[in-house]
Copies of this chain bind each other. A is one copy, B any other.
Amino acid sequence: MTAPINDLSRLCVHTMTTKPWSLEECIAGYTAAKIPAITVWRHHIEPIGAKEAGNMLRDSGLEVVSLCRGGFFPATSGQAREEARAENRRIIDEAAEIGAPLVVLVCGADPEIDLPTARQHIIDGIQAILPHAKAANVKLAIEPLHPMYADCRSAVNTLDQANNMVMALGSEYVGVAIDVYHCWWDPYLRAEIERATNTILAFHVCDWRTPTRDLLTDRGMMGEGCINIPEIRGWVEKAGFNGYIEVEIFSEEFWAQDQEKLLWRIKNAYLRHV
């Protein structure tokens, strides 16, 4: 049995979960709701820049868990792949500037590129930016994405593949991000989480709705879907992870609602269903 969660001390919310809010509104809203930590999406930094965002975040007292997202390494030309690496180095700099110790990588895919080639582009890309990450003291988390995103978002679709990449790269600056939404169906999930012991850098939660009305923006609130989140959390914690539990929900339905009330729902669902 997974130990129950009794307080909000490990709760982190992704700014994309409250997408209608600006970074300023996210900070004010999370702070008012006594949510201790935040993961920042670049979307929310863009209007003000990383420097200003960093100042706001430091003033807020919120713990910055990670910057989302780097990656998107595969490309049909060598020049485009170089540009992707340069962009990832800028993202690492942004993470350092906002005080995020981690960049989450959505590794990328392209319908024009076969999957084995895309995976090689990903390995090569991470290898190329690793010295920059190390110099900035920012870690990189490979996040396997659900196979329904293998065409254009990530050629890394199972934790097995992510673990293999972490092993191949062999650096303490590279680990995995585990999102229950992407991995819950995997018959080897428990074994692969065990294999990821001490390399789990992030843990994301939400739920899988039935029916799922959209491939991208119909994630569910914890407890309203079929994912056994406490069981997966138990495996992740047994594998040495005791960091923040990040609520990342893309949902047109929730984005259309009052975001303060949404935070209230998140806290309740977190205490009951995570």
Interface residues of chain A, those whose CB is within 8 Å of chain B, are 111-112, 114-115, 119, 146-148, 150-152, 157-158, 160-161, 184-187, 208, 210-212, 215, 225-226, 228
Contacts and interface: CB of A to CB of B under 8 A. Distances in A.
Nearest to A228: B114
A146 B226 CA distance: 16
Given A212-B215, A215-B212, A150 B185 contact: yes
Nearest to A182: B147
A148 B147 contact: yes
A112 B115 CA distance: 34
Interface centre among A152, A157, A215, by most chain B C-beta atoms within 10 angstroms, is: A215
Contacts of A210: 111, 151-152
A151 B148 CA distance: 14
B225 A111 contact: yes
11 contacts: A111-B210, A111-B225, A115-B187, A151-B208, A151-B210, A151-B212, A151-B226, A157-B185, A160-B187, A161-B187, A212-B215
Contacts of A215: 148, 211-212, 215
Interface centre among A147, A186, A208, by most chain B C-beta atoms within 10 angstroms, is: A147
Interface centre among A187, A212, A228, by most chain B C-beta atoms within 10 angstroms, is: A187
A118 to B, nearest CB: 10
Contacts of A152: 210-211
Nearest to A189: B115
B151 A111 contact: no
Contacts of A158: 187
CB-CB nearest 7 A-B residue pairs? A111-B226, A150-B185, A147-B185, A148-B148, A111-B210, A151-B210, A147-B147
Contacts of A187: 115, 119, 157-158, 160-161
